[in-house]
């Protein structure tokens, strides 16, 4: 349903002219009235409606570029599917048409992408990354407006939107601390830039909170089966987890594998050991798993907003915008107090809630766009 200024005026209890002045900045309005009008306009969806109209006027089509390594089929490609599905939903919401460009080789074919973008008169290019740092030198030379999703240009020559993978690990550790854990073990795997960032975030959080670091369990790959095998092997060798009362898993598939191995060994979660993952994508998240969502499905919102802003405000020479998307803690039911403690440790006089969703961002209470690095010069 279309919302107009009369609807806003009625709900806010002000004159239509007052709403018009607030929305267009054409007169001095008190802070209290201005905030009330904007809050109503936001709640009624008017601001999104107005933004969509501006988008339609400035952006009609985008090229979405993939290299041949960007898989969207199979169990291991759930992150890529979430990225692309999120982009398609946001483009549909904005009435944007999509033209795809798939490279025949490794990396992005600059000539092919440029030809498609010029032919289709596209507003810009979205580059779909698997989480790695990219060398986009040839594409940068084309002068096309481009935004990398889920990765960065290695010399910061292109705008980018990335998940807060390192911060997500610290959110998971903080949640375990709130539950009373001091002995935390990590289940990880080798390779993949985004998992490396999570691993670094975990190590930094362990050091910052002066927790007891335990030997890492390393899975052969990022999968449920590999996670289960790694934890089962550890339990088979030692019979326990070396005093650890909680496991932080670098991904939700690894966490699911850990849950299976612990169950097979007769250990109860969370009574005997707590488990928390990291990804938060519904498709790959076991029911009840405590995890941290890094917002793969929402990265497109920021990516297209950056592209839109570049059309209205030209990019300064040798600068880029880097948005680190915020995180959301999904408390789940797999984290509880350590064995022997009946209730979680109190933090600030309050017992942390269980089985609910709570949002945490990289700055303050965090919205989805929790950390913004503007004009990073190099």
What number is the average pLDDT over the span 159-185?
A: 95
Centre a 10 Å sphere on the Cβ of residue 333 and count the other Cβ atoms it contains. 13
State the Cα–Cα distance between residues 61 and 121, nearest whole angstrom.
7
State the Cα–Cα distance between residues 17 and 228, nearest whole angstrom.
64
- At 354, the pLDDT band (50, 70, 90 cuts) reads very low
State the Cα–Cα distance between residues 37 and 31, nearest whole angstrom.
10
Q: Is residue 364 over pLDDT 70?
A: no
pTM above 0.85, yes or no: no
pLDDT for residue 51: 67
pLDDT for residue 74: 67
Cβ atoms 130, 150 nearer than 8 A: yes
Q: What is the pLDDT of residues 70-121, one digit of tens each?
A: 887 766 689 999 999 999 999 998 888 999 999 887 789 999 999 999 999 9
Rg (CA), the chain: 23
Residue-wise burial string across 223-258, b where 16 or more C-beta atoms lie within 10 A, e elsewhere = bbebbbbbbbebbeeeeebeebbbbbbbbbbbbbbb
Output the average pLDDT for the chain.
84
The percentage of residues in the chain with a pLDDT greater than 70, rounded to a whole number, is: 85
What number is the average pLDDT over the span 180-199?
A: 88
State the Cα–Cα distance between residues 187 and 252, nearest whole angstrom.
11
Q: Is residue 350 over pLDDT 60?
A: no
Cβ atoms 242, 256 nearer than 8 A: no
State the Cα–Cα distance between residues 316 and 41, nearest whole angstrom.
33
- Which has the closest alpha carbon to 52: 93, 1, 98, 6? 93
Assigned token pair, 267: 């250990």
Cβ atoms 65, 103 nearer than 8 A: yes
pLDDT for residue 314: 59
Q: Is residue 157 over pLDDT 70?
A: yes
Cβ atoms 333, 355 nearer than 8 A: yes
Q: Work out the angle between the directed axes of helices 16-24 and 5-12 (0-180°, nearest 10).
A: 110
Q: What is the pLDDT of residues 223-279, one digit of tens each?
A: 999 999 999 999 998 888 989 999 999 999 999 999 999 999 999 999 999 999 999
Cβ atoms 368, 303 nearer than 8 A: no
Assigned token pair, 314: 């030209």
State the Cα–Cα distance between residues 202 and 246, nearest whole angstrom.
13
Cβ atoms 292, 276 nearer than 8 A: yes
State the Cα–Cα distance between residues 26 and 18, nearest whole angstrom.
10
């Amino acid at each position: 349903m279309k919302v107009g200024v009369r609807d806003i005026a009625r709900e806010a209890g002000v004159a239509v002219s007052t709403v018009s002045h607030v929305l267009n900045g054409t007169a001095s309005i008190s802070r209290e009235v201005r905030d009330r009008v904007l809050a109503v306009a936001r709640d009624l969806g008017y601001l999104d409606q107005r933004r969509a109209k501006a988008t339609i006027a400035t952006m009609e089509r985008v090229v979405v570029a993939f290299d041949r390594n960007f898989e969207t089929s199979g169990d291991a490609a759930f992150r890529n599917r979430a990225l692309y599905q999120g982009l398609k939903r946001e483009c549909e919401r904005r009435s944007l048409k999509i033209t795809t460009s798939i490279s025949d080789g490794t990396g992005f074919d600059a000539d092919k992408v440029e030809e498609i973008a010029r032919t289709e008169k596209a507003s810009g290019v979205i580059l779909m990354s698997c989480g790695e740092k990219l060398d986009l030198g040839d594409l940068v030379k084309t002068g096309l407006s481009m935004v990398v999703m889920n990765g960065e240009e290695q010399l910061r020559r292109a705008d980018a939107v990335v998940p807060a993978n390192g911060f997500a690990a610290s959110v998971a550790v903080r949640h375990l601390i709130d539950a009373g854990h001091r002995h935390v073990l990590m289940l990880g795997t080798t390779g993949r830039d985004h998992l490396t960032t999570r691993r670094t975030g975990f190590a930094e959080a362990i050091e910052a909170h002066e927790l007891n670091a335990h030997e890492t369990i390393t899975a052969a790959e990022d999968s449920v089966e590999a996670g289960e095998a790694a934890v089962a092997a550890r339990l088979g060798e030692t019979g326990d987890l070396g005093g650890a009362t909680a496991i932080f898993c670098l991904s939700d598939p690894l966490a699911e594998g850990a849950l299976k191995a612990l169950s097979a060994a007769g250990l109860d979660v969370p009574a005997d050991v707590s488990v928390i993952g990291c990804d938060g994508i519904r498709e790959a998240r076991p029911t009840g798993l405590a995890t941290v969502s890094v917002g793969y499905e929402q990265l497109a919102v920021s990516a297209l907003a950056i592209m839109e802003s570049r059309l209205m405000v030209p990019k300064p020479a040798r600068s880029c915008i880097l948005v680190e998307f915020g995180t959301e803690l999904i408390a789940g039911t797999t984290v509880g107090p350590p064995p022997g403690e009946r209730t979680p440790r109190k933090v600030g006089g309050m017992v942390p809630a269980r089985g609910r969703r709570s949002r945490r961002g990289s700055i303050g209470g965090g919205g989805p766009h929790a950390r913004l690095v503007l004009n990073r010069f190099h």
